[in-house]
Amino acid sequence: MTDDEWQAHVAHEAAKAIGEWLEGRGRLHQPIRSLTMPELEALAQNAISRFIVLASQRIAEAPGEPESQKLSTLLMG
């Protein structure tokens, strides 16, 4: 998978994680602006967690690739 394909995949997966969180929260009829700060933080945490999982998988699958090394630095930094 190219870097661009991986970035698109990660964005898609993060969007899915956000959607799942919103659906689990309920009240989908309410606008996003009605979310509280703790709710926004939980939404962000879900997207960040999904990124970490995907980045860790990419590192494990191709540890010697330059992108994997960048991700390792990002995750450890």
Give per-10-residue mean pLDDT for the chain (77 aa): 88 91 87 92 92 93 89 86
In order of 4, 42, 57, 65, the CA distances from 51 in angstroms are 15, 14, 10, 18
Task: Kindly report, residue by residue over 11-30, the tens digit of the pLDDT.
Answer: 999 999 988 988 898 888 88
Question: What pLDDT score does 14 carry?
Answer: 92
Question: What pLDDT score does 3 carry?
Answer: 83
Question: What pLDDT score does 11 carry?
Answer: 92
Question: What pLDDT score does 47 carry?
Answer: 92
